[in-house]
Structure formats: C-alpha cells, structure tokens
Structure 1
Amino acid sequence: MSILNALSLSRRPATAFVVIGMFWGCFAAYVPVIKAQLGASDALFGALLLGSATGLVSSMWLAPRADRILGSRAMQVGAALLAFAWLFPGQVTVPLVFALSMALVGLASGLLDVVMNARVSELEARHNRPLMNANHAMFSVAYAVGALIVGATREAGLPPAPVFAGFGVIAILLLPMMRMDVTYVDAEEGYAGAYPLWPIILCGAIVLVAFMSEATVEAWSALHVERTLGGGAAEGALGPAMLGITMAIGRFSGQVVAERLREIPVVIGAAAISAIGAVVAALAPTPFVAYIGFGVLGLGVSVIGPMGLALVGKLVAPHLRTEAISRTAVIGFSGFFFAPVLMGLLSDAFGLRVAFVAVAVLLLSVVPIAIFAKRLPVR
C-alpha cells in the first residue's frame, strides 16, 4: 500500500515520468533501425548521440529559470515540447541533421526532467516521506512498455516515425494530468549558509554513474543482442525492455526500502548488484543469458539515480532545493554526454563485450563516492 499511496501523492509528476519513459523506450528499441538508416558506425553513432546530451545539459542550466516563469504549467510545456521534438529523429537519414534533432529532444527532455524531479522533492518535503523511487519506477514501466510495443511494430515492419507520432498523441492527451501548483520557498531569515557545493558534486557523481550505466544499456543492449549474439528484431527489442521491467521492479522495491533504510547503504549494495549484472551481460553466450544480465543490472542501477537526487534534496536548504536538484541533474545527465562516445569507441576498438565489462567497473566507482557523501550533514 505504501507504493500506491506514494503514487497517489505524486500522481502529477508521475505522469511526466511516464511520458519521458515511453519515448526513450521507443527510441532504445528502434536504435538498430535508426543506426542502419543513418549508415553510421558504432563510433559515429555514439558521437551523434552527443546531440541529445548537449541538449540535456543545456536545458539543465535553463530549467530553474524556466520553472519560475512557467510555474504550474512547467511540466505541461516540457511534455508538449518533447512530443514535438520526437517527431524528427526517426525519419532523418543525414547524420548531422539527426544530431541536431536529438539536441532538440535533449533540450525538451531535460527541461521536463528537472521540473518533475523538483516537484517530487517538494512533495517529499511536504509529506515527509520518500517518493522518488516510486516516480522513477513509473519511468521504467513506461520505458519497458514502449520498448515492447516497438518490438511488435518492428516485427510488423513499421518505421520509427509513425510510432513516435503515436506516442506523441498519448503525451498530448496526458497534459491535463501534469498541471501542478508550485510552492516557492524563500530563504530563512538570517540564512548565512554556504552554497551547497559538496552535496551537489557528490550526489551528482552518484547520479552520473547511474545514468551513464543506464544510458549505455538503453542505447546498446539491442545491438548487443542482435549483433553479438545473433538475435532477431524482437529479441533485440527485449533487451531494453528487460532493463525497463527490472528497473521498475527495483524502483518499486526501492520505494519500500527507502522508508526503512538510509540512502547510502542502499546505493552501495545496488552498485555491487548492478556491476554483477553488467558482467553477466558482457559474457553472455546467448540472448537469454544477456537478458538475465540486463535484468540484474536493471534491478541494481534502478535505485542509484533516484536515491542520489533524493539525497541532495535532503542535504540543502529548502530554498535551494530546485537549484540543487537542477545542478545535480546537470552532472548526472552529462552521463548521456559521455556514455555514447565512450561506448562507441570501446565497441569499435574491442567489441561490445569489453564495453559492458567497463560498465561494471564504472558502477563499482559509486562505492567510494557514497562513503564520502555519508559524511555530509542532513538538513
């Protein structure tokens, strides 16, 4: 019941998480098709995905100001822009134009992402209970559903463009659910605290590792199944779908765990579990074993990002919460900047198996970061 209650309390930002999730699930399952129609190598495709990362990082710096201007309609505007932006990447065949279209996607996605996470953090403070994992679980559910739908549309021979347009219609229909009144908090009288640099850096690093790992599996799992392991289109789409399903399970479970345990021990345990999953996926002899690896990775990595964002909301003064989450998200979402390039270069040089082993090493780097973060005082 705690999960249902958490979703009821945060149903408006949860709807925004669903919108973002279904679009990125659709994209992840269509990656082999989009990559083929661009005629891009692994390294080039990884470089082209920098477009979305550039847009994401840019939007993170603009989001706090946009949030102030748009107020209660900020999530609605972000979702509408995202639906419009996704009309283009699936029908582009020129690499440079694809990169520009993905920059527009990243800009809209980043704006919506910062605002919806800030709304969840505000609700956490208002109701004095954790809500972040449940909301991120809704992203994962929508991501998995989007990927599974694309598995069927790819088998039926449908190109990406009309499928993205269909998801766009769903997003527009959900806009009324995303209007949410905002309570802006001023600094306490006499507040003389320093800018919360270390909470942002350390929590941002935790989120960075989580999102780099997540982005790697989202963008390259279908290719790993189809190219390395010889799977078909539907089998390839099941790779990102498996990630989404298990991340949803992990985040719903994390919602329950977060009400009983502090963030740092959970993050350390989750990092170890997800690293094991990355190794299993890397060494998998068949698609089925790869699905197990992606599933274990998804269970572990699912709670790391939400825990990092929730933690920074607790470590800063209330009037700095939205800005701190935005800055933490800047660091975290820069993972979408680094991951495609590094994965493409590693894949070109050594193959996807070695690239996924590198993901395991990256995940283990969370442990010392979390230990440092544990020393920071909770406000």
Structure 2
Amino acid sequence: MLKTVAGFAAFGLFWGAWGAILPAVRTGAGVNDGELGVALLMIGLGALVSMRFTGYLIDRYGGVVLPVVTVLFAICGVLPALAGSVVTLSAALLLLGATSGAMDVAINATGSHAEAATERPVMNFAHGMFSVAVVVASLGTAGLRAAGVGALPVLGGAAALIVITALVVLSQRDTAQAASGSTSAQPAATGDARNPRADAEGSVRGRLEPTLLMFGVLCAIAYLVENAWQSWSAVHLDTSLNAPAGLASVAPAVFAAAAATGRFAGNALLKRVQQVQLLVFGGLIAAVGSLVAATAGHPWIALVGIGIAGLGTSVCAPTIIGMAGAWAGPARRAGAISVVTTIAYLGFLIGPAAVGAVSSQWSLPVALGGVAVLAVVVAGLAPVAGRIAGAR
C-alpha cells in the first residue's frame, strides 16, 4: 500500500506544481494562448500513445516498471521549463504526456494489486493522496512564484522529490510479494481461480474487451465531469459571477480539497457499502453540486456547489478502476487497467474542450449544467456496470 500512496502523491506533486507554474512556462516559451492550447494537447496525445503499452510491460515485467516510468516522468517534467518556442514546448509536452500516461497506468495497477493482495480498499485513499498533493503543491508553488522563483527551479525541485520517492519507496519490493515470489503484475500463465472470466484461454480476450470498454466509457464520463470543474471553476466564478480575481482563483483548490476529502471518506465507506453503491452515491452528489454551482447567483454559493461536486465526483473514477482491476484478475490486471485508463483519458481531455464549445454556443452556466446531467448518467449506469461485470 505504501508504494501506491507514494506513487499517487508524487504524481499529484508534479501536477499541482504544474498548474500553478504554467503561466511562467508560457512566458518562458514565448507563446500566446492559442499556441499554448495546441501545445497542451500534446500531453493527451503522448499519454494515449503510451498507456496501453505500459499495461503490457507491467503484465510482462511486473513491479519494476513503476520506478522506471516514475524517474522518466520526473525527467520529462523539467523539459517544459527549458522550452523557448511553440515547437520545443510541444515536443516537451509530448514526452511529458507519454511518461505521465505510463505512470498513471503503473500507479493504478499497483493500487489494484494492493487491493487484491490485502483485501482492503486502497484506490480511493490513494487518489485522495493525489488530491492532497495537488493542493499542497499548488499552494506551495503559488508562494514560490510570489517570491519570484521561476519555472525551472520549481519543476526541477518537483522532479528531484519524485526521483527520491522512486528510488527510496517505489523501487522497494513489497513484503507480501517477496514472501510469495510474485510481482505486482504476474505474467498471464494461468487463469484466476476466483474469476472464471479470466481463464488464460484464447477466449478470454473476446469476453474481456466489451466489459473493459464499458468500464472505460463510464470512467471517461466521470473524468469528464471531474476535469470540467477542475479546469473551468475559476473561469465560471470570474466571468459568470464577476467574482474578485483572488476568490475566483481559489475555486480549483476548493475542488481539489473536496476531492481529497471525498476519496478518503469513500475509502472508509467501501468497508460498509458495495462499490456499485458508492458509485451511485458519488454520481448523484456530483450532479447536485454541479447543478448548484452552475445555477448559483453568488460566488460563495458557487464555491459550495463546486465543493459538493468535488466530493461526489472524487470517488467515481477510482472506484471504477478498482472494479475493473478486480474483475480482470491478477493475470491481466495491469493490461485491463491500461485499457480502462486509456479510454477514460479521452474524457479527461474532452471535458474542458466540450465545456468551452457548449459555452461558446450558449453560455458557461448552461455548459456546466450539462456536466450535472453527465454525473447523473454515471450514477444511472453504475448498477448496469455492476451487473454486467459481476462486481461485488
């Protein structure tokens, strides 16, 4: 469990620092808003290229993949600070996205394995640590920026901490694994005795793909809701509600802090409720919060709604990923999670752009109201997913 929590915290450390230091990266590269938007798309493209292959590597080589991709991620995280044009920035972000996607798959596979090995909920707690790290890194980077620190020292410092984490924590072999001689992802040699769907026969792949597609689409919708608020909450307060700049800038931190709280609470609730039930509750709470925030007439009411949305949506994606990993069984767990996270990442990418497109046609509150509808869809499809996959 320590490796899972440390991996998610390291991942959140970088992305929290990244969000706060992005204006300095933009200035250093000398790009305008349009060029920056194009460059940022490279992160998603790079991730989509690497995620499926990373799952194969974990299934083939096991836990050694996690520290390797973590170090590569840390190194590539420094590259955007060195960019001096839109071309070099795009190239740097493509590499950053590829290693980010690889680490995303690796830490989720490690978490799913920890859940199976300990028979205790881990994923929501680990994702909660990601959110905590995002909040801490965002606030810390904001303080460093106020003190005049540039992009290279900030991203270089974050990279150093991530490398230290990889060498000290992530490279260590789990005690349970050492005793059994297994790795975090075992090569597919035999079926999972607890899951007849995971027989290592030629027919498994045909039955596996539709179920994983279902999990992936459901997770993509959850990610769309999550990233829509993470990306547009400050803009909503600023442009829709004319909030002061300082108050508007707090909105993403409120969302991230609420997400951390929700994930820790969700991890505890999984000891008392089924995964499907938690997913239903999370989707409905996210819908209520999204609707409150989208229709609010005052910034403070919108912040309350954003916090509620963060609480609800926070448990959705990790619960879905945990369900997929449990269904796939140890022989194909990493590969299954890479399929789900790759599909889900499309929702993470599409979310902000979709909100922007709808907003340009109607208004931002209307677009964010549509996000509430998608949260209801997650809640509505959760029981269907549970029945099809036989989740418990």
TM-score with structure 2 setting the length = 0.84
Task: Give the direction of change, closer, same or farther, for the CA distance of 1:352–1:49 in structure 2 (3 Å limit).
Answer: farther
Shift of residue 230, structure 1, vs aligned partner: 4.6
Partner Cα distance (1:345, 1:121) in 2? 35
Note the alpha carbon deviations across 1:84-143, whole angstroms, 9 max, x for none.
222233564644543333222211111111111111111211122221111111111101
Selected match of 1:149 from 128, 140, 148? 140
Contact 1:199 1:315 in 2 (8 A): no
Task: Give the direction of change, closer, same or farther, for the CA distance of 1:285–1:91 in structure 2 (3 Å limit).
Answer: farther
Select the structure with the greater relative contact order (CA < 8 A; seq sep ≥ 6): 1
Selected match of 2:190 from 187, 194, 206? 187
2:221 corresponds to 1:209: yes
Which of structures 1 and 2 has the bigger CA Rg?
2
1:179 counterpart letter in structure 2 = S
Partner Cα distance (2:149, 2:299) in 1? 24
1:194 counterpart letter in structure 2 = V
Selected match of 1:282 from 288, 294, 297? 294
Which residues of structure 1 form unaligned runs of 5+? Answer: 1-9
Note the aligned Cα RMSD (angstroms).
2.7
Aligned to 1:55: 46
Instruction: State the aligned residue count.
Output: 368
Which residues of structure 2 form unaligned runs of 5+? Answer: 174-182, 193-198
2:220 corresponds to 1:220: no
Contact 2:17 2:155 in 1 (8 A): yes
Task: Give the direction of change, closer, same or farther, for the CA distance of 1:69–1:252 in structure 2 (3 Å limit).
Answer: same
Aligned to 2:109: 118
Contact 1:133 1:307 in 2 (8 A): yes
Contact 2:282 2:379 in 1 (8 A): no
Contact 1:46 1:344 in 2 (8 A): no
1:188 counterpart letter in structure 2 = G
Contact 1:38 1:92 in 2 (8 A): no
Partner Cα distance (1:156, 1:230) in 2? 28
Partner Cα distance (2:155, 2:69) in 1? 17
Partner Cα distance (1:229, 1:80) in 2? 42
My pick for the range that moved more, 64-73 or 158-167, is 64-73
Selected match of 2:210 from 198, 204, 207? 198
Runs (4 or more) in structure 1 with deviation over 6 Å come to none
1:40 counterpart letter in structure 2 = D
Aligned to 1:3: none
My pick for the range that moved more, 21-30 or 139-148, is 21-30
2:385 counterpart letter in structure 1 = A
1:312 counterpart letter in structure 2 = A
Contact 2:59 2:332 in 1 (8 A): no
TM-score with structure 1 setting the length = 0.87
Contact 1:76 1:178 in 2 (8 A): yes
Task: Give the direction of change, closer, same or farther, for the CA distance of 1:308–1:231 in structure 2 (3 Å limit).
Answer: same
- Partner secondary structure for residue 253 of structure 1: helix
Task: Give the direction of change, closer, same or farther, for the CA distance of 1:378–1:351 in structure 2 (3 Å limit).
Answer: closer
2:32 corresponds to 1:39: yes
Task: Give the direction of change, closer, same or farther, for the CA distance of 1:145–1:234 in structure 2 (3 Å limit).
Answer: farther
Shift of residue 312, structure 1, vs aligned partner: 0.9
